[in-house]
Amino acid sequence: MKLAWNTFVKFDAPDYSAEGICNFRNFVRDETLHKMFMTGHYQLFVAVCGGKCLGMLSLREKLHISLLFVDGDYHCNGIGSALIKFVSRYVLTEEGIDRLTVNSSPYAVDFYHRLGFKDTHSETTADGIKFTPMELRLL
């Protein structure tokens, strides 16, 4: 969660209100979220090199990307794309699900579009958090 928080502060927080920043901080520090990871309700995939976590992607309900963050020093090196590609294969072959969804931050909209995600609704704000709902069809 430290990677998620540090990356959020550097790249996403400038697009958010104080309320949104506070709500995101509370989300990544929440003990209930930790328990959901531990019990498998959230699946966590990481990109590691030399013992260092360079990127992370979590899935909620087997198809929704809840957290995708790559260490800022490693942006534009294909780590986020590789995580999406790996998780796409996993969801399709292991879970039998033919799509991924995400609520993209304003910072990541172009990244998701480049990978083939399509907007399902226009940008919205909930609890101070701006996002664009998107979907990627895997078949």
Percentage of the chain beyond pLDDT 70 is 100
Contact 72, 10 (CB under 8 A): yes
3-state secondary structure the chain: CHHHHHHHHHHHHHHCCHHHHHHHHHHHHCHHHHHHHHHCCEEEEEEEECCEEEEEEEEECCCEEEEEEECHHHCCCCHHHHHHHHHHHHHHHHHCCCEEEEEECHHHHHHHHHCCCEECCCCEEECCEEEEEEEEECC
Terminal Cα-to-Cα distance of the chain (whole angstroms):
32
Domain ranges for the chain, please list them.
2-98
Does domain 2-98 correspond to CATH entry 3.90.1150.10? no
pLDDT of 27 above 90: no
Q: Return phi, psi of residue 69, to 5°.
A: -140, 140
pLDDT of 28 above 80: yes
Give residue 91's pLDDT.
96
Strands 124-126 and 129-137, sheet pairing: antiparallel
**pLDDT per residue over 73-96, tens digit each?**
999 999 999 999 999 999 999 999
Give residue 106's pLDDT.
96
Distances (CA, A) of 106 to 15, 89, 99: 7, 26, 21
**pLDDT per residue over 39-78, tens digit each?**
877 899 999 999 999 999 999 999 999 999 999 999 999 9
pLDDT of 32 above 80: no
